[in-house]
Amino acid sequence: MCGIAGIIHRDAESDIGTEMEVMLQSMKHRGPDSAGYALFGPATDLVVIRFKLADANDPRDFDFRDRLERNRLEVESRLNKIGASIDRVESETDYAYRAVVRYDGDVKALADYLEDVPGCEVLSLGHSLEIVKDLGDANEVSQMYGLAGFRGTHAIGHVRMATESDVDISGAHPYWAYPFSDVAVVHNGQLTNYFHWRRRLERSGHRFQSECDSEIIAVYLAEKMAADGASLEDAMNESLEELDGVFTYMAVTQDSLGVAKDEMAAKPLVLYESDDLVAMASEEIAIRAVLNREIDTVDPYEGQVLVWSR
């Protein structure tokens, strides 16, 4: 089933970490397997890389901690080698890290070089995007990664009921649009031409870290925007024709948040717009978790693509 949520503040900054947490927690019944956040903090000239070196449910063998420590040092040395000067590398959990670096080079080269380290997966990379995802509900994940104080401008999130692939961090949403910095996607639905697109995108050099069909959307949009120079809205409009299946998905970039619904309007979405912010979710209770008052909401129609920019 899955639940998705998005919020964008038109002008101001806000406690988007907490806002997304309460939105997702109110939809826990839609997906108890994992929860994920894509949060946009204030943009800086530094690059934030969120990566993991093992999955949450990997067996903790005798060498686990030492191996991860060795691999973390390897990641740091590779960052230096590729010309990224490290500001700091923080451990978020036993297996997830947040690196802040100064880097102006090719994002794909950097991501590929880091993911060559055993067990390494880059969860997000960008000047303001940070993706946090783990097993458990939204409260647990927020506590684990200390998201309560996270301030920013817009965010999307996802609670997952796994239907197509494993229950692990690699299968959890949101997906970073590798190798395109500051783009992420959450998805509620199923894609039926997944393998068609996966083969096609792999041939043009993209990598997939999971068996999850939703990962396609992020990479698909990224390729449209990076290679073809399309805007987010154009890329999303093309996806309605080219992606088969049932979906409501949200995509975020550094300054925009977009949502698309398939031609059948098979998956729900409730939308609230005001002068200050736009909030949307699979269920209205998620919006009311942030705005605890009587509000007017609408359900977008089939085949609609809506994009809000700051």
Partner 1 sequence: MEQVAGERKITYDARGLAEPIADVPHVSEITDGRATFDAAPLTTRQINLELRSLIYDQGIRDVTVLNPGAKHSIGVGILQRCTIRYAGSLGYFGLGLIDGPEIVVEGRVGWSVCENMMSGVVVIEKNAGSLAGAAIRGGDLVIKRSVGARTGIDQKGGTIIVGGDAGSMTAFMMQRGRQIICGDVGPGLGDSMYDGAIYVAGKVKSLGIDCVEAEWSDADTELIDRKFSIYGLDKPDSFQKFVCGKVLYNYDNLEPSEKKLVIH
Task: Write the DSSP string, 45-111.
Answer: SSEEEEEESS-TTS---TTHHHHHHHHHHHHHHHHHHTTPEEEEEEESSSSEEEEEEE--S-HHHHH
- Touching partner 1, residues 193-222 (CB under 8 A): none
Shortest distance, CB of residue 6 to partner 1, whole angstroms?
17
| Residue 137 vs 168, nearer CB to partner 1 | 137
Shortest distance, CB of residue 294 to partner 1, whole angstroms?
6
Catalytic residue from among 2, 132, 277, 280: 2
Residue among 177, 57, 55, 169 at smallest CA distance from 118: 55
* 121-126/277-281 β-pairing: unpaired
Site string for partner 1, 127-156 (x = CB under 8 A): ------------------------------
Burial class (CB in 10 A: 0-12, 13-18, 19+), 232: buried
Dist. CA 282–CA 161, nearest whole Å: 13
Give the number of other CB atoms < 10 A from CB of residue 255: 16
Site string for partner 1, 277-296 (x = CB under 8 A): ------xxx--x-----x-x
Shortest distance, CB of residue 90 to partner 1, whole angstroms?
30
- Touching partner 1, residues 69-128 (CB under 8 A): none
Residues in the interface with partner 1 (CB under 8 A) total: 16
| Residue 182 vs 283, nearer CB to partner 1 | 283
| Residue 30 vs 72, nearer CB to partner 1 | 30
Q: List Cα–Cα distances, 255 to 231, 244, 310, in angstroms.
A: 12, 28, 5
- Catalytic residue check, 2: yes
Shortest distance, CB of residue 29 to partner 1, whole angstroms?
9
- Touching partner 1, residues 248-277 (CB under 8 A): 263-265, 268, 270
Catalytic residues: 2
**Interface positions with partner 1 (CB under 8 A):** 263-265, 268, 270, 283-285, 288, 294, 296-299, 301-302
